[in-house]
Amino acid sequence: MNSLKFLKKEFREILKTYRIWVVPLVFILFGLMSPVATKLLPKILEGQMKTQNIAFKMPTPTAIESFSQYFKNLSQMGALAVILLSMGIVSEEKAKGTLQLILTKPVSRTSVIISKLIAQSVLISSSVLVGAICCYFYTLVLFNEGNAVLFSQSTALYVVYYLLLIAVTLFFSTLFANQVAAGGVSLIIFFGLTILPSISQFMAKYSPYAVTVIADNILKKEDVFSKSGWPLLVSVALIIILLVLSCQVFSRQEL
Amino acid sequence: MSDIKNSSENTIEIEGLTKKFKNLVAVDHLNLTVKKGSVFGFLGPNGAGKTTTLRLLMGLARSTSGTARILGRDIHNNMLSIRKRIGYLPDVPALYGWMTAKEYLTFVGELFNIEQSELDQRVGSLLEFADLRGVKTKIGGYSRGMKQRLGLVQSLVNQPEVLFLDEPTSALDPIGRKEVLDMIESLAEETTVFFSTHILSDVERVCDTVAILNKGKLMTESNLAELKSRYAQPIFLMEFDSEYSAFKKRLQGFSWVLAIEQEANKLKIRVDDAKFGQMELPRLLAQTGVLLRGFEIIEPTLEEIFVQVVEEK
């Protein structure tokens, strides 16, 4: 199975280059920063107010707020990181010419695209998982509480949302020869996705970005995981459509 | 397509292959046949369409019209199966800089599903062949010559029946060029080599058949020796022991004398018919009484033929 040989190369590339360190590190930072910021922010604000002789008392922060802060970071900076880390997955190899040489061997273009999507998805998902574990246990340490089940459910929703962002970026990375162009257009699509739920009730229920709202509500016990069914289904459908489109575009592309 | 005869003697058969970009015809109705076992020199100045032709044959670009067969199979429908039996070296081989040479060759071998023990053996001998055995550095740290040698051996991992080389020596220093040409020469017995270049001396050294491409069009295609005799406007070099202006003046009156170049006590005389010149020049010399020291027929260089072919058409 030549498709597996190319997938093996993708994983070896991840292990042998900076990506194996940088990508998990980004999400570990998010995981560690959020509990600390949530814990310290009231004290910092109170301290500043005290110097200005203003009486100010912030409510004691909770583990839910720590998790909520973490997911807020994931929905913005995390999403940007996913796009920036994925924008070169096809276009960089096209620009360098490494793919052209490999594609003169018995390797199908479809297997190249599928391998790229799988490898990047595994890398990002496992990095999110490591970051989430850091966040959960650091929150436990700082706040002495934390609902592992609800936190896991919200994390799972973000993983699916990131897989969609990877598929979007993969498509534009396949379409364009330049990774900056691929990243730029993917960012525009990302901003579009974030706006969709505020457009109408329909979009709020079905659009992929709704999972981020549901993830936050799950933590606050305002929603249950099953509420995310439609946006998850739409996300998975979009991932499949984008994958098929990427394969189609790549198979017709001149290299 | 039906006109192309699937002859087992022909490894590559190209018919009417055309590639148009917006305002440019990069390859213009190219017809070409490469015989099995030959080292085929695909010559042309920069921008002639050589790389585009190779990219079309490799399936990296799509032709506007026309077709081609490699090893009897149509490239438009059988590219995956053709790729199992061919090797390709692009003009600038882009290899994974994070791999070592051994890792890269092993990866390529895996793509061809070569059995592990066989692959280990092949990788070892190819590293030896490329003089890269024992080099532990990652490819990213290689010199241009090392990359080119590795690029060449990566195209040999599957022991290809046809090898496509795109300007394999153009960016190398004289030592690197010699090394790569030596490698190509040693392959010639077992493999059909399709070798694109603009360096004529390389062609003269390793190729037996030549096609000349200019502005996307095929100018000529022939056996190298035939090409030389066909396009050769022989040059006679005559060296004199006495004053020879009378002889020179005499020659200038004949239409079969195309050009005369004077160098100290020598004359370089270009004629339109070699045999006629060979008979007439000594006769005329005897008539003018000039003393001759030396008489030599100079073979035209490929450079001269190339310029002549390109200018003529």
Locate the domains of chain B by residue range: 10-229, 232-312
pLDDT of residue B8: 63
Q: What digits encode the pLDDT tens for the residues A168-187?
A: 999 999 999 899 999 999 99
Backbone angles phi, psi at B165, to 5 degrees: -120, 125
Are the Cβ atoms of A105 and B112 closer than 8 angstroms? yes
Which of the two residues, A155 and B4, has the higher pLDDT score?
A: A155
Looking at chain B from residue 256 to 285, which residues have their Cβ under 8 Å from any Cβ of chain A?
A: none
Q: Which of B81, B83, B90 sits opposite A97 (nearest CB)?
A: B90
User: Residue ranges per domain, chain A?
Assistant: 2-252
Q: Which residues does chain B have with pLDDT short of 50?
A: 1-6
The residue type found at A237 is: A
How many other C-beta atoms are found inside a 10 Å radius of the C-beta of residue A130? 16
* Chain A residues touching B98 at Cβ < 8 A: 13, 16-17
DSSP string for residues in chain B: -TTS---TTEEEEEEEEEEEETTEEEEEEEEEEEETT-EEEEE--TTSSHHHHHHHHTTSS--SEEEEEETTEETTT-HHHHHTTEEEE-SS----TTSBHHHHHHHHHHHTT--HHHHHHHHHHHHHHTT-TT--SBGGG--HHHHHHHHHHHTTTT--SEEEEESTTTTS-HHHHHHHHHHHHHHTTTSEEEEEES-HHHHHHH-SEEEEEETTEEEEEEEHHHHHHHH---EEEEEESS--HHHHHHHTT-TTEEEEEEETTEEEEEES-HHHHHHHHHHHHHHHTPPEEEEEEEPPPHHHHHHHHHHH-
> What gap in Å lies between CA A208 and CA B277, rounded to an integer?
86
Nearest Cβ partner for B84 among A17, A106, A255: A106
> Does A106 lie at the interface with B, CB-CB under 8 angstroms?
yes
Does the beta-carbon distance from A101 to B154 stay under 8 Å?
yes
User: Smallest CA–CA separation between B309 and chain A, in Å?
Assistant: 32
CB contact under 8 A, A16 and B154: no
Architecture category of domain B10-229 in CATH: 3-Layer(aba) Sandwich (3.40)
- Residues belonging to chain A: 255
Min mean pLDDT across A25-29, A135-139, B115-119, B269-273 is at B269-273
Residue B1, pLDDT score? 41
Q: Is any Cβ of chain B less than 8 angstroms from the Cβ of A96?
A: yes
* B22: contact with A, CB 8 A cutoff: no
**Over pLDDT 70: what percentage of chain B?**
96
Q: Is the ipTM of this complex over 0.90?
A: no
As its CATH architecture, domain B232-312 has 2-Layer Sandwich (3.30)
Residue pLDDT, tens place only, A194-225 = 998 888 888 888 889 988 889 888 988 888 88
Confidence (pLDDT) at B223: 84
Model confidence pLDDT, tens digit, residues B140-157: 999 988 898 999 999 999
Asked if A97 and B88 come within 8 Å (Cβ–Cβ), the reply is: no
